[in-house]
Structure 1
Amino acid sequence: MKIIPSQTCGNSPKNQFVETYSIHLLTKNQNELNNLTDSAIMIQLPNGPVINSLTDLDQLELAFETLTCLVSIAHGRHGSFLGAIRQKDSEKLIAVHYEFKTLKADKIKHVTLFEPLPISQTT
């Protein structure tokens, strides 16, 4: 699996937090997520179910070879991430929205993952 960071979060710790959390979430890295996630987490998966525990992340059906981080933004108690995932000959955009536990943005309490959308190929 290849991860390509955005290189645009250097001046914003909150934006960097959103990008880092998104990488750990999409790669299902529970060890790293445990320290960054509120104990009362609520994760809305793209296919409908809501999970309330990081141990249930296996319900996230997402396979990719490459994750390219495009944009991570944060303001107040909210943050968003946009990335591109590539699997063989298919490339899709994936978006994630976050609600932080506090304005410090050091823990995530709510996550909404959106259904990945195919990237239109023009020639």
Structure 2
Amino acid sequence: MTDHTPPSPSPELWATIDTLWEWLDTNRPVEGREGVLLRILKLSEEVGEVSEAVIGATGQNPRKGVTHTWDDVQSELCDVAITALLALRTLTPQAREVFGRHLERVRERSQASAPR
């Protein structure tokens, strides 16, 4: 019988997220609820940068031409993932467990809907 449980993100990932979160929290210019909301809104900015990189990699803006590479797109997608994990960590110190449980639910749903 094959174990279909996906590997957990590495402990180093979460240690790095905690370190980044501590740094951001120490240097947070806006405190309280507004600070939390701004941390979550940062995701929109990062997603916009992914869009800009895709448009730049495909040369979709005729005035600008090709301004980005697919490596730029990959980097921006990584920034989105990091920002999302930092936002989650801002909402709960149990971010690792919350993310792990959610990832498992998504995996289960995807397997349940897969053709047999």
TMscore range, shorter length: under 0.3
* Bigger fraction of residues in helix: 2
More strand as a share of residues:
1
Question: TM-score scaled by structure 2?
Answer: 0.24
TM-score normalised by structure 1 residue count: 0.22
